[in-house]
Amino acid sequence: MTEATSTVRWAILGSGAIASDMVQILKQLPNCEVLAVGSRSVEGAKRFGDRWGIPRQYGSYEEAASDKDVDVCYIATPSLRHPQDCLLAIKNGKAVLCEKSMAPNDTIAKEIFDAAKKANVLVVHGVWSRFFPAMQKVRQIIDSGEIGEIRSARASFCQNDGAGSCSALLETGIYCAQFLQWVLEDKAVSGSPIVRGAAKTIHESGNDEHVTAIIEFPSKKIGSFECSLAHCSDRSATIYGSGGVIEIPFPFWCPTTVKVTKMTGLGSQKWSEPELYEFPLPADIVALKTEDDDASTPGFNFCNSQGLAYEAAEVNRCFREGLTESPSFTTAQCIDILRLITEIGNYA
Ligand SMILES: NC(=O)C1=CN([C@@H]2O[C@H](COP(=O)(O)OP(=O)(O)OC[C@H]3O[C@@H](n4cnc5c(N)ncnc54)[C@H](OP(=O)(O)O)[C@@H]3O)[C@@H](O)[C@H]2O)C=CC1
Ligand SMILES: O=C1OC[C@@H](O)[C@H](O)[C@H]1O
């Protein structure tokens, strides 16, 4: 175990949109330093490194991942590259936070986790929803029995956002699968979820662009989801219980609001007034402007990016404690989610 206050030194692999957001977060976390950036080009590393004040700027991912002073590599490259970039970091003995989706299927995800186990390094799959306080609240409401027995849940994440450039299942469906697993998984009942139905449309690139699926969980709870990169939806999620409903409005994958409405008695058509629980994003994390920025320069590129702080703080904690997985999002859970995604892809 490393000192609880020791500085964790990060390298960023890839210098695109999410990398910019994450760097701003890491620079504001206690005892955390962005030491290096690796880019496919020296120019890319310099541009990004100069913008964010990163001292070690490398024109290849290999150099950044093998810097002896780096503790954690943040994989912020396009999804198709994630397996090779994760394995590069692991080979160099570095801990990994890999953007979603870490692999195109569960078999390859397993290979990454196996390599990490052998090398005794931490790997966290960056499905960042998992680390939001609002998600913990959802869990607590479910466990308290406040909305009775949970019977089903749904999630929808569709946005017209580059159909064909990647798989909708891997880009936005992964958040839906993660959500359903979080709310419908029952640790007391063993077994894997079964895909009972799915439909998809395929873009001319070969990537799925719209997928809808129905899943039966071992506890007989039913989950459904829809994801698309070709059309829009309200990007919300809902949990249905015998005594009420939990709504997680847009953006359900990085939520700050949880709404609970209960039936006031069995057989009654009376419903309670909704209870709203708010979980504001960390107030001490702000978008950082640099000298070159003017008022029109966007701070963060993505919705609620301040919330990346929850997952990054968890990676720092796990690294300091010498863990090889996050107890909040275990290797087994990551593989289950990717297995579900794989089976939906095969079924549809
Ligand atoms: N958690 C979240 O909220 C979000 C997560 N993501 C995930 O992050 C990952 C990156 O997304 P995003 O930042 O939007 O992507 P960008 O295209 O903005 O950035 C990706 C970076 O990867 C590097 N790269 C390596 N190979 C290629 C290639 N063949 N084509 C293009 N770039 C390449 C480039 O950096 P360089 O030139 O320096 O090598 C590029 O800047 C994806 O997996 C995505 O799913 C995306 C958005 C939000
Ligand atoms: O991970 C993501 O991918 C799609 C984006 O629109 C979203 O904001 C982001 O969190």
pLDDT values of the chain reduced to their tens digit, one per residue, 348 residues: 667 779 999 999 999 999 999 999 999 999 999 999 999 999 999 999 999 999 999 999 999 999 999 999 999 999 999 999 999 999 999 999 999 999 999 999 999 999 999 999 999 999 999 999 999 999 999 999 999 999 999 999 999 998 888 999 999 999 999 999 999 998 888 888 999 999 999 999 999 999 999 999 999 999 999 999 999 999 999 999 999 999 999 999 999 999 999 999 877 778 999 999 999 999 999 999 777 777 777 689 999 999 999 999 999 999 999 999 999 999 999 999 999 999 999 997
Angle at 174 between CA 202 and CA 122, to 5 degrees: 135
Domain borders along the chain are: 8-129+289-329, 133-278
Residue appearing with tokens 């999630």:
155
Q: Which of 127, 239, 261, 147 is nearest to 185 (CA)?
A: 239
The pLDDT, as a whole number, for residue 271 is: 92
Q: Which residues of 55-81 are buried (b: 16+ CB within 10 A; e: fewer)?
A: ebbbbbbebbbbbeebbbbbbbbebee
Neighbours of 278 (CB within 10 A): 10
Ligand 2 pocket test: which of 176, 235, 302 has the largest number of ligand atoms within 8 Å of its C-beta?
Answer: 302
Q: Ligand 2 centroid to 299 CA: how many Å?
A: 16
Cα–Cα distance for residue pair 176/156, rounded to 1 Å? 7
SS3 labels along 105-146: CHHHHHHHHHHHHHHCCCEEEECHHHHCHHHHHHHHHHHHCC
Residues 281 and 306 sit within 8 Å (Cβ to Cβ): yes
The pLDDT, as a whole number, for residue 228 is: 98
Neighbours of 203 (CB within 10 A): 18
Q: Ligand 1 centroid to 76 CA: how many Å?
A: 5
The finding on whether 152 has its CB within 6 A of some atom of ligand 1 is no
The finding on whether 40 has its CB within 6 A of some atom of ligand 1 is yes
Cα–Cα distance for residue pair 284/167, rounded to 1 Å? 35
ipTM: 0.99
The finding on whether 80 has its CB within 6 A of some atom of ligand 2 is no
The finding on whether 102 has its CB within 6 A of some atom of ligand 1 is no
Do domains 8-129+289-329 and 133-278 share one topology? The answer is no
Give 282's DSSP letter. P
- Atom of ligand 2 lying closest to residue 251 CA: 8
pTM for the full predicted model: 0.97
CATH of 8-129+289-329 given 3.40.50.720, 3.40.920.10, 3.60.21.10, 3.30.420.40: 3.40.50.720
Length of the chain: 348
Nearest CA to ligand 1 atom 42: 78
Q: How far is CA 126 from CA 68, 99, 188, 348, in A?
A: 24, 5, 26, 26
The pLDDT, as a whole number, for residue 1 is: 66
Topology of domain 133-278 in CATH is Dihydrodipicolinate Reductase; domain 2 (3.30.360)
Residues 239 and 150 sit within 8 Å (Cβ to Cβ): yes
Cα–Cα distance for residue pair 174/37, rounded to 1 Å? 27
The pLDDT, as a whole number, for residue 103 is: 98
Q: Ligand 1 centroid to 301 CA: how many Å?
A: 12
The finding on whether 303 has its CB within 6 A of some atom of ligand 2 is yes
Q: Ligand 1 centroid to 329 CA: how many Å?
A: 23
The finding on whether 17 has its CB within 6 A of some atom of ligand 1 is yes
The pLDDT, as a whole number, for residue 269 is: 77
Q: Ligand 2 centroid to 129 CA: how many Å?
A: 11
Q: Ligand 1 centroid to 40 CA: how many Å?
A: 12
Q: Ligand 2 centroid to 215 CA: how many Å?
A: 23
Two structure tokens written together for 132: 């939001």
